[in-house]
Chain A
Amino acid sequence: MVERYLEASVRHTPAGAVVDLRGEIDAFAEEALGAAYAEAEVGDPEAILLNFEGVDYINSTGIALIVGLLAKARASKRRLLACNLSDHYVEIFNITRLSDFMNVFPDEESAIREASGHRSKASAKDLKPEA
């Protein structure tokens, strides 16, 4: 079978950065995933959304890479979100408890909507005068 190395590209939106992933998330994906995440961090977005729409395989090494990104995001007080996982990988995110630490959405639209809402609430809180 033909191996599909990971390809990743980044889009910056008002709600945060979106990382579009295509291919396989395994040991070979480390460089592409790391570079895309670094690019997504440019501009210090509040949220980074990993879009798994084009991903057909994630193995345990890939899970470890995602854990590494989540640790980075938490260290920067940034939210890491996920969307477009297949049912099988939603189950794996549940089993590993990744979904306890990063919100998983069925599609990009719902993820962006939630990220935008969260951002609005955070902005309102920032504007609230101190007592």
Chain B
Amino acid sequence: MTAPQPSDRAGRDAAWRILAELNVPSEPGNERRATEQVAEVVRPLGLEPGRLERLKTAVAEATMNAMEHGNRYRPETPVVIEVLASDEDLSVRITDEGESPVLSPESQAPDLEAKLEGLQTPRGWGLFLIKNMVDDMRVTGDGAHHTVELVLHLEDPKRGGQ
């Protein structure tokens, strides 16, 4: 599977370096394995521990979605995870072989009160969590693949660096 090129961002450095490409069999529980592998790959970047934990949660949720909804938990159909970095950003691109239309994160906003009243299923937190864990998230698809791109700014202007 060839994943598309990482998103370019106006005004940001587009010189991406590929740090790793991982193949994860679509089996329940493998999102933990993916998370630890990505954490190991990004270790040299020295992310602040809180940001690393948020990245790990986002990777776990995106990988779980890809295994469950995209690849229907077929172990022979791997989820492909690319880890890339530029001088300014870290990008983790998680691709499955789902053919259904791409879901918009905005259309999935969970309502806890509605869930507690039984008006919504208790589930449905995945995309919401991902969106809140990273600086930017994009979901794309071409009819044969879905890709979720997770972006962390390596120099967060709000924090004055990491």
Q: Do A and B bind each other?
A: yes
User: In the bound complex, do residue A1 and residue B32 qualify as a contact, i.e. CB atoms below 8 Å apart?
Assistant: yes
Chain A: CB-nearest residue to B53: A88
Among B28, B110, B125, the residue within 8 A (CB) of A27 is: B28
User: In the bound complex, do residue B122 and residue A92 qualify as a contact, i.e. CB atoms below 8 Å apart?
Assistant: no
Q: What residues of B have a CB within 8 angstroms of the CB of A101 in the complex?
A: 112, 116
Stretch at the interface among B57-65, B82-90, B95-103, B137-145: B57-65
Q: What residues of A have a CB within 8 angstroms of the CB of B53 in the complex?
A: 88
User: In the bound complex, do residue B60 and residue A59 qualify as a contact, i.e. CB atoms below 8 Å apart?
Assistant: yes
Q: A60-B126, A96-B112 are in contact. List 19 more A-B contacts (CB 8 A).
A: A3-B29, A24-B32, A27-B28, A28-B29, A57-B60, A59-B61, A60-B61, A60-B123, A60-B125, A60-B129, A64-B121, A68-B122, A71-B115, A71-B122, A91-B50, A92-B129, A96-B110, A96-B129, A98-B112
Chain B: CB-nearest residue to A1: B36
Query: Shortest beta-carbon distance, A116 to chain B, in Å?
Result: 26
Q: What residues of A have a CB within 8 angstroms of the CB of B50 in the complex?
A: 87-88, 91
With an 8 A cutoff between CB atoms, is A32 at the interface? no
Centre residue among B60, B118, B123 by max chain A CB count within 10 A: B123
Q: What residues of A have a CB within 8 angstroms of the CB of B124 in the complex?
A: 60, 64
Name the prevailing secondary structure of the A interface residues: helix
Query: Shortest beta-carbon distance, B103 to chain A, in Å?
Result: 14
User: In the bound complex, do residue A59 and residue B115 qualify as a contact, i.e. CB atoms below 8 Å apart?
Assistant: no
How many B residues touch A, CB cutoff 8 Å?
27
Q: What residues of B have a CB within 8 angstroms of the CB of A60 in the complex?
A: 61, 64, 123-126, 129
With an 8 A cutoff between CB atoms, is B54 at the interface? yes
User: In the bound complex, do residue B32 and residue A67 qualify as a contact, i.e. CB atoms below 8 Å apart?
Assistant: no
**A binding-site residues for B, Cβ under 8 Å:** 1, 3, 24, 26-28, 57, 59-61, 63-65, 67-68, 70-71, 74, 87-88, 91-92, 95-98, 100-101
Centre residue among A28, A71, A100 by max chain B CB count within 10 A: A71
Query: Shortest beta-carbon distance, A92 to chain B, in Å?
Result: 7
Question: Mind listing 21 A-B residue pairs with CB under 8 Å?
Answer: A1-B32, A1-B33, A1-B36, A3-B32, A24-B32, A27-B28, A28-B28, A60-B64, A60-B125, A64-B123, A67-B115, A67-B122, A71-B116, A87-B50, A88-B53, A88-B57, A92-B57, A95-B128, A96-B110, A101-B112, A101-B116
Q: What residues of A have a CB within 8 angstroms of the CB of B125 in the complex?
A: 60, 63-64, 96
Q: What residues of B have a CB within 8 angstroms of the CB of A1 in the complex?
A: 32-33, 36
Give the complex CA separation of A87 and B50 in angstroms. 8
